[in-house]
């Protein structure tokens, strides 16, 4: 890499959730929905694309807008938003974009001659008699389509099944013909929702949404978000349309289930939805996922982590990290922006509360937990920071390769008075403290704090009045 990579791997002012990475013609293209900074609902912006060389995951190029919400003929006024898409290359060499608008339940398709060019509306997925998928008696509403093309056939996966929703059985799959629109086979149920999971093996991690499909050797991997929302799970099969067996959790954007540095039930961020997929890049596998920012559900950012797929097809859950795209701990030298924090937490545990919304159950946010934000408005290229750092709350960065570090400097602002404890574990003994003072501009504060050599996490826990904001931190061997 020309420089170190970290999470989020796109600029801090870009909000691309629901990431579907694909390699076309030797380059990685990231497709996803497009949140608006400080937006009030999901996916308020048009589809854009980012790309990178497989040889440098730290350097992503903005490809521009590839499809506007008003490009769909039933959305000329732009009143509907573009939900999570996927892209595949058809047998004819063209690229096909599959999506669902937020107030419809049908799958729409756009086409382009290049991976990141201007896509044009093609049509809607339908049966051979012309009936749209989702409109035939017994069909389920479509949501979060995923596609995989093999030869002349394309497999389409879709669905959404809220916790407690008895009207939907789970995820479905169909086979499409080479015209990329007409259904040849299906629908088939491949993963159960929570009301129909007994005896399926999916119990406790039932299908919610975020369908994605990949293939490694002779095994199909169905990646999805479970009813717990924060986790991306997987199921495997030797057949694209049946016999999927639950495999486990790949990642949680709260690090639930991880017990390597905390208890398995301790969340290290607010619970919120997740969506992503796996991809092989230069012989290594990665999971792409998203995190939530700005203290809301509607400003999500793309992250990635290296994973290992074992010979028995299993994938062990991995931690959220700050180094992500780097593939290894970051060098503990120089200054780092605070927005690469991967843990956001309060020391005191609070019970998780789930509220009812018109569709189903959704977790209530803990308003005391710190979060990433930025100055300016959506589209302004403003570097992110971490704010809402309240008394006895903190943020964490994983991991750094440390050597002979004797001093830590932080850059803060805000009306507050207190200090940050510096730790190498979230609940460990402080290595030292950095006192801060109230300021409405960024100011630096330092302390002589020795950090042990080797691979270390770094945690800042605030103690004091008011609410602190952290913009950056740096290490020094002096």
Please give the pLDDT value at position 103.
Answer: 95
Which one from 46, 72, 144, 209 is the annotated catalytic residue?
209
Residue 214 sits in the same domain as residue 129? yes
Whether residue 344 has pLDDT greater than 90 = yes
Which one from 14, 18, 46, 255 is the annotated catalytic residue?
18
Please give the pLDDT value at position 2.
Answer: 62
- Beta carbons of 118 and 126 less than 8 angstroms apart: no
Please give the pLDDT value at position 1.
Answer: 44
Exposure string over 289-312, b if 16+ CB within 10 A, otherwise e: bbbbbbbbbbbbbbbbbbbebeee
What is the pLDDT of the chain when averaged over all its residues? 96
Active site residue 297: no
Please give the pLDDT value at position 405.
Answer: 94
Whether residue 287 has pLDDT greater than 70 = yes
Please give the pLDDT value at position 478.
Answer: 67
Token duo for residue 18: 């629901």
Residue 266 sits in the same domain as residue 410? no
What is the strand order of the sheet 60-67 is part of?
20-24, 27-31, 47-52, 60-67
Residue 308 sits in the same domain as residue 372? no
Average pLDDT over residues 377-389: 98
Domain assignment of residue 311, given as a range:
20-320
Residue 77 sits in the same domain as residue 196? yes
Whether 13 maps to a domain, the answer reads no
Whether 359 maps to a domain, the answer reads yes
pLDDT digits 0-9 by tens, 71-100: 999 999 999 999 999 999 999 999 999 999
Whether 3 maps to a domain, the answer reads no
Residue 342 sits in the same domain as residue 311? no
Strands (E), 13-124: 20-24, 27-31, 47-52, 60-67, 86-89, 95-99, 108-112, 120-124
Residue 129 contacts by C-beta under 8 Å, 6 or more apart in sequence?
Answer: none
User: Which is it for strands 343-346 and 416-423: parallel, antiparallel or unpaired?
Assistant: unpaired
The CATH number of residue 28's host domain is 2.115.10.20
Residue 278 sits in the same domain as residue 389? no
Residue 270 sits in the same domain as residue 140? yes
Whether residue 67 has pLDDT greater than 90 = yes
Whether 154 maps to a domain, the answer reads yes
Whether 246 maps to a domain, the answer reads yes
Whether 251 maps to a domain, the answer reads yes
Q: Which of 320, 342, 369 is the last residue of a domain?
A: 320
- What share of residues in the chain are helix, strand, coil (percent, to 5)? 5, 45, 50
Residue 281 sits in the same domain as residue 353? no
Active site residue 209: yes
Give the whole-angstrom CA distance, residue 475 versus residue 454: 14
User: Which is it for strands 454-466 and 416-423: parallel, antiparallel or unpaired?
Assistant: antiparallel
- Beta carbons of 42 and 337 less than 8 angstroms apart: no
Residue 389 sits in the same domain as residue 315? no
Please give the pLDDT value at position 361.
Answer: 83
pLDDT digits 0-9 by tens, 107-136: 999 999 999 999 999 999 999 999 999 999
Please give the pLDDT value at position 356.
Answer: 83
The CATH number of residue 385's host domain is 2.60.120.260
pLDDT digits 0-9 by tens, 192-222: 999 999 999 999 999 999 999 999 999 999 9
Residue 300 sits in the same domain as residue 257? yes
Residue 346 sits in the same domain as residue 449? yes
Whether 39 maps to a domain, the answer reads yes
Please count the structural domains in the chain.
2
Average pLDDT over residues 216-241: 97
Residue 306 sits in the same domain as residue 233? yes
Whether 9 maps to a domain, the answer reads no
Q: Which of 265, 285, 320 is the last residue of a domain?
A: 320
Strands (E), 41-168: 47-52, 60-67, 86-89, 95-99, 108-112, 120-124, 146-150, 153-158
pLDDT digits 0-9 by tens, 247-272: 999 999 999 999 999 999 999 999 99
Q: Which of 265, 296, 320 is the last residue of a domain?
A: 320
Q: How far out from the chain centre does Cα 214 lie? A: 17
Backbone angles phi, psi at 437, to 5 degrees: -130, 160
Please give the pLDDT value at position 125.
Answer: 98
């Amino acid at each position: 890499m020309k420089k170190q990579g970290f999470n989020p791997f796109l600029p801090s002012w870009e909000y691309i959730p629901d990431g579907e990475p694909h390699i076309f013609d030797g380059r990685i293209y990231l497709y996803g929905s497009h949140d608006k900074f400080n937006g009030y609902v999901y996916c308020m912006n048009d589809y854009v694309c980012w790309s990178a060389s497989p040889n440098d995951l730290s350097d992503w190029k903005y490809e521009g807008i590839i499809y506007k919400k008003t490009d769909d003929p039933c959305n000329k006024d732009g009143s509907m938003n573009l939900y999570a898409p996927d892209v595949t290359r058809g047998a004819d060499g063209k690229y096909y974009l599959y999506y669902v608008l937020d107030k419809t339940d049908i799958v729409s398709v756009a086409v382009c001659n290049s991976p990141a060019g201007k896509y044009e509306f093609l049509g809607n997925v339908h049966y051979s008699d012309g009936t749209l998928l989702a409109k035939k008696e017994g069909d389920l509403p479509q949501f979060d389509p995923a596609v995989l093309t093999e030869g002349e056939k394309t497999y389409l996966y879709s669905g959404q099944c809220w916790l407690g929703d008895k009207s939907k059985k789970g995820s479905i799959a169909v086979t499409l013909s080479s015209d990329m629109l007409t259904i040849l086979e299906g629908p088939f149920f491949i993963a159960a929702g929570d009301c129909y999971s007994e005896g399926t093996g999916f119990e406790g991690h039932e299908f919610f949404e975020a369908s994605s499909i990949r293939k490694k050797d002779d095994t199909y991997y169905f990646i999805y978000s479970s009813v717990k929302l924060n986790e991306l799970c997987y199921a495997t099969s030797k057949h694209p349309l049946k016999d999927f067996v639950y495999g486990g959790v790949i990642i949680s954007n709260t690090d639930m289930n991880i017990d390597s540095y905390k208890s398995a039930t301790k969340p290290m961020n607010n619970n919120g939805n997740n969506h992503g997929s796996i991809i092989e890049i230069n012989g290594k596998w990665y999971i792409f996922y998203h995190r939530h920012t700005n203290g809301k559900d509607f400003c999500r950012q793309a992250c990635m982590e290296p994973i290992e797929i074992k010979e028995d097809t299993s994938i062990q859950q991995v931690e959220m990290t700050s180094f992500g795209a780097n593939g290894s701990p970051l060098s503990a030298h120089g200054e780092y922006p605070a927005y690469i924090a991967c843990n956001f937490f309060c020391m005191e545990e609070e019970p998780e509360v789930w509220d009812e919304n018109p569709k189903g159950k959704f977790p209530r946010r803990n308003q005391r937990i710190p979060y990433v934000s930025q100055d300016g408005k959506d589209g302004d290229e403003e570097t992110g920071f971490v704010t809402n750092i309240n008394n006895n709350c903190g943020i964490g960065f994983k991991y750094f390769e440390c050597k002979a570090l004797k001093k830590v400097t932080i850059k803060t602002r805000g009306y507050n008075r207190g200090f940050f404890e510096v730790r190498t574990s979230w609940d460990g003994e402080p290595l030292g403290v950095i006192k801060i003072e109230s300021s409405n501009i960024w100011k630096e504060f330092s302390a002589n704090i020795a950090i042990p050599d080797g691979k270390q996490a770094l945690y800042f826990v605030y103690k004091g009045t008011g609410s602190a904001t952290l913009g950056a931190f740096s290490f020094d061997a002096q």
